[in-house]
Amino acid sequence: MESTFRAIETTGTVDKNHHLFLDEPLPFAGPAKVRVIILLAEEGDINEKEWLYAAAKDPSFDFLKEPEEDIYSLTDGKPFHDER
């Protein structure tokens, strides 16, 4: 029988004893068997905050400051409420 999986993305820290500590509680109660995939940033990779700062300062995005690019208002769309 095939298993199906639901992915949950979160962040955490591995301590000097090789134990993983999550930054936030998981959105389900245990006990439960889970599968864990660890993604490590490569040395030299910049973090998301640094990437966003660099993108905000990149002149190739200056066209977004033009008035004709400002096509949305606060009344457009529907509110998004995270159900975590």
Q: Establish if 5 belongs to a structural domain.
A: no
The answer to whether the peptide bond before residue 31 is cis (omega within 30 degrees of 0) is: yes
pLDDT per residue as tens digits for the range 37-81:
988 877 776 778 887 888 888 888 888 889 998 888 888 888 888
Residue 77, domain member (yes or no)? no
User: What is the pairing mode between strands 20-22 and 12-14?
Assistant: antiparallel
User: What Cα–Cα distance (Å) separates residue 48 from each residue in 11, 15, 53, 58, 62?
Assistant: 13, 22, 9, 15, 20
- Report if residue 84 sits inside a domain: no
Q: How many domains, in total, are found in the chain?
A: 1
Domain ranges, residue 58: 12-69
Q: Is 6 domain-assigned?
A: no
Residue 1 pLDDT grade (very low, low, confident, very high; cuts 50, 70, 90): low
- Position 63 in a domain: yes
